[in-house]
Chain A
């Protein structure tokens, strides 16, 4: 099941990376982040500056841009990363590459999971990764995730393409 999915996502990703990034994409991405702290944006050309070797798989899945903000609220150090993957299918591609059946899945966006210090979810063309440290990290993550999810809005369902694939090997 994974093979055809990967090819579909990569084909879409290659097409998307040829196009210039519209200004409204950048503006909308920045607006999704919580307020406070300095926001930084990265693109396919410089994502390595932020993620080093971790960037490669994001580029393969067609990253358009990502916005990053670090801030401290009520004693909790928060990091919010929002990845605009260009399409729901590409966002699903990178999200599903990083999820594991062992994770604790929660009801957020189209699908998401959390641990004591991290919360990742998928919604539309966005893949959101949050991390937090300090007392009260878990509720802070949940609050931040729901705020971002609300700003993204729109359809909260998973892309339909995986449903067209055989049931064998489905998680």
Chain B
């Protein structure tokens, strides 16, 4: 992707922000409610807390913007199974985008299971629509081939056109164990904006994910760790594999967000190939502690 003037300045934005604005925030809930209503409230308050600690959604979204929110809606699983992003985290982000002046917020994913099942079952479709977002199944005709400059694997690939054209992209994944990569975090969640024969991605997953992350470069990355899928990911299903972390992470540095996310599964950042590759390519800093994350207790 060639950077035009607008994209060039967007990419510079984090560096031009006031020194006081943190690049990473970690919001942790003081309690761990068990009732569904309590967990929903927790997810929304954590999300707001994490974004406010970064300086508020106004740092990322301005009046008239079209925003693409990319949750993980990959699997036919309910929220408590922790295979898809928590719907209340997504809804809170949508609400904040509109409050910051967004003209349109779209929520979408190119899932592994059929979207007719994953969108409603995950709870994301209804939560996003209730918050005012458009949440449609992806249209095959909207994928378009793009050239990814500097890519090691995906030199040319089909990416969803609406994502490429959006003024802002917010990547909001969930923390999950993954049999191939060790973990699904934020950067790997971006595979859901790609079309084509995605099985090819797995031949060199670390470089492929880094290629995608380098192309999409979301302005804001959020990681849902209210519940995490600690084993048998990425699809899971058994509630015994789900652990509470009662945490939402947010940041402008997608490598740092993922590096911290890995620790929530008991892994080290250097255990995740695409985190290491992203760091090596200068997409971000896997030494997340060096960014002095803002930590908030909600």
A37-52 contacts to B, CB under 8 A, are 46, 48-52
With A46-B199, A48-B202, A51-B112 as given contacts, are A56 and B237 in contact (CB-CB < 8 Å)?
no
Q: Is the CB of A100 within 8 A of B241?
A: yes
Residue of A nearest to B114 (CB): A70
Q: Is the CB of A49 within 8 A of B239?
A: no
Residue of B nearest to A129 (CB): B237
Query: How far apart are B290's CB and chain A's nearest CB, in angstroms?
Result: 30
Query: How far apart are B103's CB and chain A's nearest CB, in angstroms?
Result: 33
Q: Is the CB of B234 within 8 A of A48?
A: no
Q: Is the CB of B238 within 8 A of A115?
A: yes
Partner of A57, one of B74, B180, B184, B188: B180
Q: Which residues of A contact B234 (CB under 8 A)?
A: 52-54
Q: Is the CB of A56 within 8 A of B179?
A: yes
Q: Which residues of B contact A17 (CB under 8 A)?
A: none
Q: Is the CB of A115 within 8 A of B199?
A: no
Partner of A79, one of B76, B81, B231, B240: B76
A56–B233 Cα distance when bound, in Å, is 12
A116 within 8 A of partner (CB): yes
Partner of B178, one of A50, A53, A115, A117: A53
B126 within 8 A of partner (CB): no
Q: Which residues of B contact A103 (CB under 8 A)?
A: 238, 240
Partner of A56, one of B113, B180, B231: B180
With A54-B179, A100-B241, A103-B240 as given contacts, are A48 and B235 in contact (CB-CB < 8 Å)?
no
Q: Is the CB of A57 within 8 A of B179?
A: yes
A98 within 8 A of partner (CB): yes
Partner of B184, one of A53, A77, A104, A113: A53
A119–B235 Cα distance when bound, in Å, is 14
A46–B112 Cα distance when bound, in Å, is 12
With A53-B202, A56-B202, A57-B179 as given contacts, are A117 and B78 in contact (CB-CB < 8 Å)?
yes
B177-219 contacts to A, CB under 8 A, are 178-181, 184, 188, 191, 198-199, 202, 205
Q: Is the CB of A53 within 8 A of B180?
A: yes
Q: Is the CB of B199 within 8 A of A133?
A: no
With A50-B112, A56-B202, A133-B121 as given contacts, are A118 and B180 in contact (CB-CB < 8 Å)?
no
B117 within 8 A of partner (CB): yes
Q: Which residues of B contact A52 (CB under 8 A)?
A: 74, 112, 191, 198, 234
A79–B113 Cα distance when bound, in Å, is 11
A53–B181 Cα distance when bound, in Å, is 8
Partner of A48, one of B76, B198, B232: B198
Q: Which residues of A contact B121 (CB under 8 A)?
A: 133
Q: Is the CB of B237 within 8 A of A48?
A: no
1/0 contact string of B1-35 vs chain A (CB within 8 Å): 00000000000000000000000000000000000
With A53-B184, A57-B180 as given contacts, are A98 and B232 in contact (CB-CB < 8 Å)?
yes
Q: Which residues of B contact A77 (CB under 8 A)?
A: 117
Interface size on A, residues (CB 8 A): 27
Q: Is the CB of B179 within 8 A of A100?
A: no
Query: How far apart are B210's CB and chain A's nearest CB, in angstroms?
Result: 16
A131 within 8 A of partner (CB): yes
Q: Is the CB of A54 within 8 A of B235?
A: yes
Q: Which residues of A contact B184 (CB under 8 A)?
A: 53
Query: How far apart are A145's CB and chain B's nearest CB, in angstroms?
Result: 14
Q: Which residues of A contact B205 (CB under 8 A)?
A: 53
Query: How far apart are A47's CB and chain B's nearest CB, in angstroms?
Result: 8
Q: Is the CB of A100 within 8 A of B240?
A: yes
1/0 contact string of A1-38 vs chain B (CB within 8 Å): 00000000000000000000000000000000000000
Residue of A nearest to B230 (CB): A100
A163 within 8 A of partner (CB): no
Q: Is the CB of B81 within 8 A of A117?
A: yes
A102 within 8 A of partner (CB): yes
A102–B178 Cα distance when bound, in Å, is 19
11 contacts between A and B (CB under 8 A): A48-B198, A53-B205, A53-B234, A55-B202, A56-B202, A57-B180, A70-B117, A77-B117, A98-B232, A115-B237, A117-B78
Which 8 interchain pairs have the tightest Cβ spacing?
A: A48-B199, A52-B112, A118-B237, A56-B180, A102-B240, A57-B179, A115-B238, A53-B180
